[in-house]
Amino acid sequence: MLLKDRVAIVTGAAKGMGKGIAVRFAEEGCRVAIADIDLTKAQETAAEISAKGVEGLAFACDVTAIGQVSHVVEEVAKRYGRIDILVNNAGAIGNHFDIEDMPEEEWDRIIDLNLKSHFLFCKFVVPYMKKARYGKIIGISSIGAVLPPAHEINYNTAKGAIISFTYDLATALAQYGINVNCILPGPIKTHFYDGMLPGASEEEKEKVFANIGKKTPLQRIGTPEDIAGAALFLASELSSYVTGHALYVTGGLPLQPLAPAH
């Protein structure tokens, strides 16, 4: 097992990519604490993790609230004595606005959810990792950071900043044996698209996903399991000499697909 007896916090793991990461870590022997604003769904994920023979914990947490974040970190550290892995996955896209129409509060909300949350969890987790002289920190950015598929400037800006955050923190923490990397997911089949496809049937959604997938060189949309595999690599000793890296998990984007061979 690649993560046997390790302890991880995964934010936003009630569903989607975060859940995929949390479950995959558990399959490799890792105890996983889930921090998510949706406690009911987080508890369901924790139960799924516990069914695999390792402990799963669920915490109701607004990842933009410093008091709630510090509480989660303190409780996990108190229970296990250490925190080996942190995955800053929580995030969401907001309502669409052209920049000239965007309310200040909408800008702040999306920046806080997608970026400030990384700062807060690292602020409280890093001291435990420094003391242990070991740690794996993984941030979830987006292909939108470098190849915006739409004008979602608050979301894309936050995701771009996660890359810079990764480079800086990787440099600062390398002397403590802490690896800091980030993942740039491409199009991934999750609830992320629900707001863009209101009222669509499952068949209609599948057609949309198939069309999205055709825009990638690999000709398919990604899955939470694809992201989980990359996260497992970065969380394990397989990546012990990798830090300060932004890993594209995008089906080949920003490369463009060639015309089908005849």
Residues 76, 214: Cα–Cα separation, whole Å: 42
What pTM does this model have? 0.95
Nearest to 71 by CA among 22, 118, 124: 124
Q: Is residue 129 part of a domain?
A: yes
Q: Which domain holds residue 106?
A: 7-188+223-249
CATH code of residue 143: 3.40.50.720
Which positions of the chain have pLDDT values less than 70? 192, 194-197, 262
Q: Is residue 211 part of a domain?
A: no
Q: Is residue 193 part of a domain?
A: no
Q: Is residue 228 part of a domain?
A: yes
pLDDT at 171: 98
Q: Is residue 256 part of a domain?
A: no
pLDDT at 205: 79
Q: Is residue 133 part of a domain?
A: yes
pLDDT at 45: 97
pLDDT at 39: 98
pLDDT at 194: 65
Q: Please tell me the total count of domains within the chain.
A: 1
Residues with catalytic function: 155
Q: Is residue 235 part of a domain?
A: yes
